[in-house]
Chain A
Amino acid sequence: MEAIKEQKYTFKDFASDQEVRWCPGCDDYVILRSMQKALPEMGVKKEDVVFISGIGCSSRFPYYMNTYGMHTIHGRAPGIASGVKLANPDLSVWITTGDGDAMAIGGNHFIHVLRRNLDLNIILFNNEIYGLTKGQFSPTSLVGQKTKSSPYGNTQPPFVPGELALGAGARFFARIGGNVPKEMSQLFVDAHKFKGTSLIEVLQNCVIFNDGCYTKFTDKKVKEDMQIFLEHGKPMIFGKERDKGIVLKGLKLEVVTIGENGITQEDLLVHNAKEQDPTLHQMLVRLEYPIATGIIRSFEDVTLEEREDALTKQVKANSKFKKTDDLFFAGETYEVK
C-alpha cells in the first residue's frame, strides 16, 4: 500500500482571505484563532472540513475559515449540518452558534441534534446578550439584567446551556472561558476526536453590549479561585493554592478546604466524565461557585450515522432490489397487448 501523504498544515492554511469584521477586543477573535490552530492538530484534510452557522455575530465564523462553509438562517444550522453529515459521514462538520441562535430561535433544533448524536461538533458562543441586533436580552441573560429590550431589568429567567444540553441527551459537554486560547484549542481537538455530538460552551465576552459579564469568573487574577477546571480521573481540586475541593454532601455539591475539618484530598470527588449517568454532570454544570470548566461530560455512545449505516448494509444484503427497475417491475404487474 502506498504511504499516505502526510499533509502538515499551519493555522494560516485555515484563514480565508476575508477581512474579519468583529468588534475590536471581541472574544470571537480568540475562538477563531484557537480553531485555526486546533485544525492542524486534528489530522483532518482541509477539504473535508465544513463550518455551518445560523445568524448572529458567531455565525460570521465560516466566512473566515478557509474550508467549506455555509452561513445559513437563524437557528437552523443544526438541521443543515445534520443533512451535510448524513449525506457524507466522512466530513468533519462544525456548527458555530450563539445563545440566541441555539437556544431561542433554534431551540428545537438544538435539543434534537443533541438527542440524535451525529458525529459533529457545536461551538456555542455564549455572551448572554444579542450582539448583532444590538443589545437585547437573550435566553441566557440574567434576571434583572438591563438591556435595550429590558430597560428596567430582564424578567425572564435564563437557561443554563449545559443543563439544557444534558437534559436533551448530550454525550459531550465542555465549557471554557473566552480568554484562554491554549485550553480552548485543546478542547476543540478533544471535541473533534470524540465520536458523537460534542458541545463546547465558550463564555464569550461581548465588549460592546455586555462587557465584563464573566469577569468575576474569567479574569486572570481570580480565575483559579472561581473556576474548577475538570479533568477526567482527577480529584476535583481548585484555587490558587490548590487547597479547595468539591465533595458530595447529601444531594448537593459542596466546596471544602483541604486541611480544614479533617478534609483530605481522598475525600474529594474524582471527576468521571465518561459516566453514562449524567446526574453528577448536571450538578457540575449548575455549580455557581466555582463554575465548572473543561470537559464535564464525555460519554461515548453509538452515533446516528453508525446506526443508519448498519441498517442500510443489512437491508442491502437482504434485498432483492439492486436497481430501481427491479422494484418497478416487481409484484403485481400486468401486460396490455
Chain B
Amino acid sequence: MVTTKETLQPEVLEAVVIRFVGDSGDGMQLTGTQFTDTSAMFGNDIATFPNYPSEIRAPQGSLYGVSGFQVHIGSVEVSTPGDNLDLLVAMNPAGLKTNLYALKPGHTIIVDTDSFSKKNLEKAEYTSNPLEDNSLENYRVIQVSMTSLTKEALKDVEGLDNKSITRSKNMFALGMVYWMYGREKEHTIDFFNKKFKTKPHLIEANTKVLNAGFFFAETLELIPNAYTISPAKMDTGTYRVIMGNTATAWGFLAAAEKSGLELFLGSYPITPATDILHELVKHKHFGVKAFQAEDEIAGIASAIGASFAGDLAITTTSGPGLALKGEALGLAMIMELPLVVVNVQRGGPSTGLPTKTEQSDLLQAMYGRNGESPVIVIAASTPADCFNYAFEASKLALEHMTPVVLLTDGYIANGSAPWKIQSVSELPEIKNNITKEAVENWHPYDRNEETLARNWGIPGTPGLEHRVGGLEKDSLTGNVSHDPENHEKMTKIRAEKIKRVQNYIPDIEPEFADSGDLLVIGWGGTYGSLHSAVKLINEQGYSSIGFAHFNYINPLPKNTEELLKRFKKIIVCELNNGQFANILKINFNGLDISQYNKIQGLPFGNNELIAEFKKLVD
C-alpha cells in the first residue's frame, strides 16, 4: 500500500528527528547508534535519546517492552534529541502504538507488516489493525514486509539459524533509512567486520540485509521522497561521537594523567552509572585501578582508602547508591581527603525509575549527610561536557582537599553527541597539596592560606606519620578534640573552605540577553532542552529573554545574585519538584522566582517550555 505518490525530488532539510522503536530484543539501540555515528561522521550535529525498559527482555510484543532510540541530526546546531518526530520506524504494533503520539502529522512511518499479526495486535491492545482501519490516514505509511524480505535476502547464507535471521531485520530498516537520508553504509559495514571478526557468516548476513534495505528503498517507488541534510557548521577540529558516561570516564583518565596521580575507582554496579565502571575497567594500560566492591558503601570506602594512600580516587553511583554512601562521604569530608563521587541521577525516590532521567538528587548531594557537612557540588550539562566536569571535579577535589559530588543524569549519560577531542596537553594544570618530605612541626591540618586546603601526607613518606578519622580534630595538631570552641571553629573552617572555591570557578554568563524581562534558569543535564527553547522563543520576536545555566551549584558562582537582579522575572526549570529553585530562594531574597517542574522521567520538550515562558512575558 502506498499512501502518497510524489515526484522523487530530494528535499533539503535543516534538521530531522528519527525514532527507531521495537521490542527490547529487536536491536533498536544498535540501529540508532549506527545511524548516529554515521551521521556524525558525515558532519551533522547530533543529539540522541535512548529510551528502554528496565527489564532486559520484557515479554515480546508487550507495550511496556518497547525499546526506542531517538536521534536528532542537523546541519544547524542541535542541542536536544528533539520533541516531535519526522520519521518513526516501528518494528511491531506495540512500538507504533506507544510512539505514534510523537510523530508530526503528515510525516512518515515505516512499519514491518510481518509483525502485525493477530497475536501482536492483541498484545499491543489494538482492537483492529491500524494498517487497515484508516486510523493512520494523516501520516505517510510505508509498509514493508521486512521479516520476509530479510529471510529472502539471507536464503543463500549458510550457518544461520532462524533466530539470527529474524534478528537482523533491524539492519534492513537501517539500510532503508540510510538511503532516505543519503548516508553511506561503509561505517556500519566496518562495524560488522570488527564486531563479528570471528563469525564471518554474521558479517555476510548483516551486510546483505543492510544492502537489501538500502536497495529496496532506492529501487521501489514506495519511498515518497528522499531527504538530504547538509553537514553542520561546527568548530574545526577532530571529533568523535561520545556517550556521556564514556566522556565522564575519560575526563577522569585525563585528570589522572594531568595530575600525575594514579586513578582509583571503587564502585558497585547500578543503573545508569555502571557504564563508567565498564569503561574504566578497560584501562589497566594506564594503570587504572578499578575495584568492583561488595556494595555501595565498600565502593566509596575503598576510594577513601585509596585517597588516603595518595591516589586520585573516585566512586560512581546513582541516587540510591548515594544514599548508602552518605555516611562515608561525611567521613571523607571531615578527614578532608580529595574524592570525587559521581551520581548519575535517575528517577527516584527509592528504586524509582531506574532507566529514566530526573534531577531529584540535588538536595541529597547538597545536604544528604549527618552534621554540618558541605562538599563541592557540580553538574555536567551535555554528553560531551561530562568530560570537562569529570576533569574539573578531580581538579577541585585535589586542589581544595575535599570531596566533590559530580551530578550527571540518565539522559546525558546515555545520550551521545559529537565531542571535539581535547588533548591532555591543552587541559589546565592540576595542582595538589601533597607534602613530599618531612618538615619540622608538620601537622596534617595545617592549611594553605588561600584555599584553606589541608596538607596531604601520604603513607610511605617518612616523618609524616599521622592519624585522621571521623572524630573532630584539633585545628592545630589534628589530634582528637572534644573542645566546644574548637568544634565550632573547625565547622566554620570547613564551610569557608568550600565557599572560597568561588574564587576559582568562572562567573555565570547568561545567553541571549544580559538583562530584561525573563531569565530562564537551569542546571545540569537540561542544558540542551532549555538552550534550544530559549533560542526558539527569542527567534519568535521576544528579545529580552535570557538563559543562565548552572554547572557550579555549591558554591554558586560569585556573580549569581547580581545576575538574577538584572531580570524582572525568573523561571527555574528542573526535572524535579523545585530543588534548585529552593536553593536560590534560601540564598537570595526579594526575587520573583517561578518554577517549571517536570517529574515524568523524561527530558523537557521545546513546546512545553516555550508555552510556559510565554505565560510569564505576554
Binding site for B on A (CB under 8 A): 16, 18, 45-48, 50, 52, 55, 62-63, 65-73, 76, 78-88, 90-91, 108-109, 112, 308, 311-312, 315-316, 319, 321-325, 327-329, 331-337
Contacts and interface: CB of A to CB of B under 8 A. Distances in A.
Interface stretch (B94-102, B250-258, B520-528, B573-581): B250-258
A79 B268 CA distance: 12
B335 interface: yes
Contacts of A325: 423-425
B306 A63 contact: no
Nearest to B285: A319
Contacts of A332: 37, 41, 187, 240-241
B463 A84 contact: no
Contacts of A88: 309-310, 459-460
Contacts of A112: 293-294, 298
A172 B81 CA distance: 57
Contacts of A55: 470
A18 B471 CA distance: 14
B465 A66 contact: yes
B119 interface: no
B163 interface: no
Contacts of A315: 284-285
A71 B466 CA distance: 11
Given A73-B328, A324-B254, 7 more contacts: A68-B467, A86-B289, A86-B302, A87-B309, A112-B294, A334-B240, A336-B420
Interface string B260-294: 00101010000000000000000111110101011
Contacts of B187: 332
Interface stretch (B121-129, B202-210, B231-239, B540-548): B231-239
Nearest to A66: B465
19 contacts: A62-B469, A66-B465, A68-B466, A73-B328, A76-B297, A79-B301, A80-B305, A82-B305, A83-B264, A83-B266, A83-B302, A83-B308, A84-B309, A87-B306, A88-B310, A312-B284, A328-B421, A332-B240, A336-B43
B268 to A, nearest CB: 11
B239 A334 contact: yes
Contact of A80 (B235, B283, B301): B301
Given A70-B468, A84-B305, A336-B239, A324 B311 contact: no
Interface of B: 37, 40-41, 43, 187, 234-241, 250, 253-254, 257, 262, 264, 266, 283-287, 289, 291, 293-295, 297-311, 313, 327-328, 331, 335, 420-425, 457, 459-471, 479-480
A72 B285 contact: no
A16 B468 CA distance: 13
A336 B469 contact: no
A111 to B, nearest CB: 8
Contacts of A316: 284-285, 287
A266 B459 CA distance: 50
Given A68-B459, A87-B262, A324-B253, A109 B285 contact: no
A79 B293 contact: yes
B607 to A, nearest CB: 31
Given A84-B306, A108-B294, A68 B465 contact: yes
Contacts of A108: 294-295, 298
Given A312-B284, A334-B238, A67 B294 contact: no
Given A63-B480, A79-B302, A323-B257, A333 B284 contact: no
A14 to B, nearest CB: 10
A89 to B, nearest CB: 10
B301 A76 contact: yes
Given A80-B302, A86-B302, A108-B294, A335 B239 contact: yes
A76 B293 CA distance: 12
Of A50, A82, A328, the most chain B CB neighbours within 10 A belong to: A328
Contacts of B305: 52, 70, 79-87
Contact of B422 (A79, A82, A323, A328): A328
B469 A18 contact: no
A334 B468 CA distance: 49
